[in-house]
Amino acid sequence: MHVRIINFGTNWWAMHSRNLDDPFCFRHCAAWFNSAGLKYGRRLRLCWVYPGQIRFNLNSGFQPEHPLRSMGRTFLCSGPNHLGGRTHLLFVRLSGESAPDRYLVTMNEASNGRLSFTSPAWKSAGVQPISVSLRGLRYEAMVLMGRQDWVETDVGRWSISEDDRRLVLAGTGAE
């Protein structure tokens, strides 16, 4: 599956190889993870109602020093897989100019409006949650969407833009 990254979640962390004798253990065999989380001041809260994460390995083409450079790029992915009660999406390698099959989008109440997760009509059938953090009215939802999929908030229906680079309100063309 080819996935284009529209934006990332708030929560970032890394894992290193277990061989701490290797001076490059934080670089050679490292993996970088991202998921939904909520910031309260300087504090990050993991209020997962749908636990999951995306993962980049060293050979994926992801640059951990500059994660925002990966936004708008398309990666070959395996999954999503369900393991240990979580959804996992592995970004295997950069895909070059391949047309994306799906889009990784992260939404929150400040940018996209309130979302009612209890309503069965909050998303189209093709939208797949990867990670969702929810606390009161605040949320951050990381989802996989297809080209024709949508997510409904109190502001309106959000879908992928014509240029495949951002999330827009359906019918307005506005971000």
Q: How many domains does the chain contain in total?
A: 1
Is residue 22 included in any domain, yes or no?
yes
pLDDT at 155: 94
Give this prediction's pTM. 0.90
Is residue 67 included in any domain, yes or no?
yes
- The answer to whether the beta carbons of residues 104 and 3 sit under 8 Å apart is yes
Report the distance separating Cα 56 and Cα 32, nearest Å: 5
Query: What secondary structure does DSSP assign to 57-112, as a single string?
Result: EGGGS--TT-GGGGTT-EEEEEEEEEETTEEEEEEEEE-TTPPPSEEEEEEEHHHH
pLDDT at 22: 66
**Tokens (6 digits) for 22:** 């290797």
Amino acid (one-letter) located at 103: Y
pLDDT at 144: 97
Is residue 162 included in any domain, yes or no?
yes
Report the distance separating Cα 127 and Cα 104, nearest Å: 10
Is residue 160 included in any domain, yes or no?
yes
pLDDT tens, residue order, the chain (175 aa): 999 999 999 999 988 766 666 666 566 668 899 999 999 988 998 899 999 999 998 788 888 888 889 999 999 998 799 999 999 999 999 997 789 999 999 999 999 999 999 998 999 999 999 999 999 999 999 999 999 999 999 999 999 999 989 999 986 655 5
Report the distance separating Cα 75 and Cα 97, nearest Å: 10
Is residue 174 included in any domain, yes or no?
no
pLDDT at 62: 87
Q: What is the largest CA-CA distance in the chain?
A: 57
Q: What residue numbers bound the domain in which 62 lies?
A: 2-169
Residue 5 bridge partners (DSSP): 104
Residue 89 Cα distances to 3, 39, 70, 77, 170, angstroms: 10, 23, 15, 7, 27
